[in-house]
Structure 1
Amino acid sequence: MEKMKLKLLYSDLGPELEMIEKELEQAVDSESLLLNDASLHLLQAGGKRIRPVFVLLAGKFGDYNIDVMKRVAVPLELIHMASLVHDDVIDESEIRRGRPTVKAQWNNSVAMYTGDFILARALERITEIESPRIHEILSKTLIEVCRGEIIQIKDKYKLDQNLRDYFRRIKRKTALLISSSCELGALVSGTDEKTAAHLRRFGYFIGMSFQIIDDILDFTSTDEELGKPAGSDFIQGNITLPILCARKDTEIYAMLKANLNKELSNEDRLMIVDTIRSSSAIEEAKAMSDRYLEKALRELSFLPKGKAVKTMRKIAYFIGKRNF
């Protein structure tokens, strides 16, 4: 239901997004039946397609041409998809969006090669754009995403990490790819440098807010709403902002420490989720997300007025206040 509400905010982009969806299907097509099935399994699980949406909206500030815009939108979404497959292997996730993950449906080896294949397809598609600068931005973004994944592995089960560790991690994990979506969408459409810079910063700030809200929802949503067990981040050893805020309570800290990196019963899992959910940590984390949301909206105030800005503002507010 909530995803449908989000899609209504950018319903004007419907025909373009349908075109991008078809391009994604073509991009993951393979002569290997196994690779084809595994890639389509991930693609058909759906998603918000936030990155392509921001590519298209950013392009509205320049010389908008969907045939050009899709050359950026498709590779960026493929990169995101590839990172999800790899994430599920690292986190040993069985469920994503209510469906078995690629690693659960097949195995780790198939999942890793599927992720590599999708990433290779992204790099193949981006070569259609003859712009060294766009290739440079994309390659630097990929490097930072990989660094973020390594940092996440290093920080697993590390309850005593500081907030800077967390923000550094989600910057690379989520915010930079959304930031690049906005910047590349602007640049490929010939938008001026000042506008592109504001769009890049908007993407970064809204990406930070987006990930914080995701981490909050892991505790405040139900298993059914999430399409996976609530509290999965903690179970997998990913120490997120709600946990970092909640650990200030000595009793909660002791409880988290005692249950970290161990096999939890469903009862224990729900107990941890309920404890975090009823603590002040959720409101503290929301306040931090709100600060990033405010910064994102401020960047939009510097952009030329028009429909694209209005849509971006609505999406930003929805992302920062969503309940799914």
Structure 2
Amino acid sequence: MEKLKLKSIYSEFRTDLEFIERELNRSVHSASPMLEDACLALIGSGGKRIRPVFTLLASKFGDYNPSVTAKAAVPLELIHMASLVHDDVIDDADLRRGERTVKSIHGNRAAMYVGDFLLGRSLEIIGELDSQEVHRVLSRTMIEICVGEIIQIEDKFAAEQNLRDYLRRIKRKTALLISSSCELGGLVAGADPATVRKLKRFGYYVGMSFQITDDLLDFTGTEKQLGKPAGGDLLAGNITLPAIYGLRDPELRPYLLDALGGGLDKAGVAKLLGLMRNSEAIRESVRISDLYLEKALREAEALPDIPDRDSLIRIAKFIGKRKF
């Protein structure tokens, strides 16, 4: 049902999105069949395409040109895909979206090169746009993503984290790429500077809500919904917002510490997830996510009143409340 709802929203600009999808597939052509097959499998694995969709819709606030927009939208999705491939190597993950990861099929060494190939192709494509500002935004985004990923590695299994640590980390890890997707969409279409700034802020707030929702789903979702075992982020040592709040709860804290220390068996993990799902930690995390979503909607409502603004608003509401 959730996926059908998203497809319904996307149907409003299906032709434009199909063009970007074709360009995305074309972008990973390679002399290596294994490399190309791995990339095509990633593309076809059921991603929500949030970043290219936001680039597409943001570009409607300027002089929209599908070919130009694709040269920004495709690199952003390639960067996102590369980060997932590298994440799966770091986390030793065998499943993503219910499918085997590149790492599990081809091994760590090949997976790292697949990710590097995707990053290289993103730079090659964005280089076709004659705009120093576009190049600056993308370069800065890639740098900040790397910083965010390194900080996440440094923070693994560190139980005593605070809210500020977490928010700064997800800003770099997730929100900036979504923010840049909106910003670049406006920039490549020549939207006026005030509109570009609103789009950038909208994307940032949506991105923060998006990642908090992802982190909530690790505790509240099912393996079928997530395409991977529930609680996997926690067991891998990633301290997310629900865990930060949960560690403040005397009942939940021992279970969370045991999980981080590898001391919970399958039954113990199931009990922890059951306790978390009905906890104040989840309710407080939802509240924080909703605050970011409300800020995103205020930015969207301040944008020029064109039909595509409504699509931005509907997608923002969807991804802040999604179940997958």
Q: Tell whether 2:308 aligns with 1:300.
A: no
Superposed counterparts of 1:112-127, under 5 Å: 112-127=112-127
Cα deviation, 1:85-104, whole Å, max 9, x if unaligned, reads 00111111110000011111
| Shift >4 Å, 4+ stretches | none
Deviation at 1:269, TM superposition (A): 2.1
Deviation at 1:10, TM superposition (A): 2.5
- In structure 1, what is the equivalent of residue 285 of structure 2? 285
Q: Secondary structure at the match of 1:83?
A: helix
User: Whole-Å Cα distance in 1 between the matches of residues 291 and 39 of structure 2?
Assistant: 37
Number of aligned pairs?
324
- In structure 2, what is the equivalent of residue 152 of structure 1? 152
Q: Secondary structure at the match of 1:93?
A: coil
Q: Tell whether 2:93 aligns with 1:88.
A: no
Structure 1 residues 308-317 or 6-15, which shifts more? 6-15
- Contact 2:234-2:259 at 8 Å conserved across structures: no
Cα deviation, 1:133-188, whole Å, max 9, x if unaligned, reads 10001100000000000000001011111111100111011100000000000010
- Contact 2:225-2:323 at 8 Å conserved across structures: no
Q: Secondary structure at the match of 1:115?
A: helix
Structure 1 residues 107-116 or 248-257, which shifts more? 248-257
Cα deviation, 1:240-271, whole Å, max 9, x if unaligned, reads 11111111112311221122142743222212
Q: Tell whether 2:199 aligns with 1:205.
A: no
Q: Secondary structure at the match of 1:237?
A: coil
- In structure 2, what is the equivalent of residue 79 of structure 1? 79
CA 1:264/1:248 → structure 2, altered by over 3 Å: closer, same or farther? closer
Q: Tell whether 2:189 aligns with 1:186.
A: no
- In structure 2, what is the equivalent of residue 7 of structure 1? 7
- In structure 2, what is the equivalent of residue 36 of structure 1? 36
Supply the AA of the counterpart residue of 1:289. Answer: S
Deviation at 1:59, TM superposition (A): 0.6
- In structure 2, what is the equivalent of residue 268 of structure 1? 268
- In structure 2, what is the equivalent of residue 133 of structure 1? 133
Supply the AA of the counterpart residue of 2:278. Answer: S
Deviation at 1:22, TM superposition (A): 1.4
- In structure 1, what is the equivalent of residue 321 of structure 2? 321
User: Whole-Å Cα distance in 2 between the matches of residues 55 and 259 of structure 1?
Assistant: 39
Q: TM-score, normalised by structure 2?
A: 0.98
Deviation at 1:301, TM superposition (A): 2.0
Cα deviation, 1:43-82, whole Å, max 9, x if unaligned, reads 1112000001000110111001101110100000000000
User: Whole-Å Cα distance in 1 between the matches of residues 219 and 77 of structure 2?
Assistant: 27
Q: TM-score, normalised by structure 1?
A: 0.98
User: Whole-Å Cα distance in 2 between the matches of residues 259 and 14 of structure 1?
Assistant: 44
CA-based RMSD of the aligned residues comes to 1.1
User: Whole-Å Cα distance in 1 between the matches of residues 183 and 62 of structure 2?
Assistant: 12
User: Whole-Å Cα distance in 2 between the matches of residues 171 and 287 of structure 1?
Assistant: 17
Q: Secondary structure at the match of 2:237?
A: coil
Q: Which runs of 5+ in 1 are unaligned?
A: none
User: Whole-Å Cα distance in 2 between the matches of residues 263 and 103 of structure 1?
Assistant: 26
User: Whole-Å Cα distance in 1 between the matches of residues 49 and 133 of structure 2?
Assistant: 24
- In structure 1, what is the equivalent of residue 142 of structure 2? 142
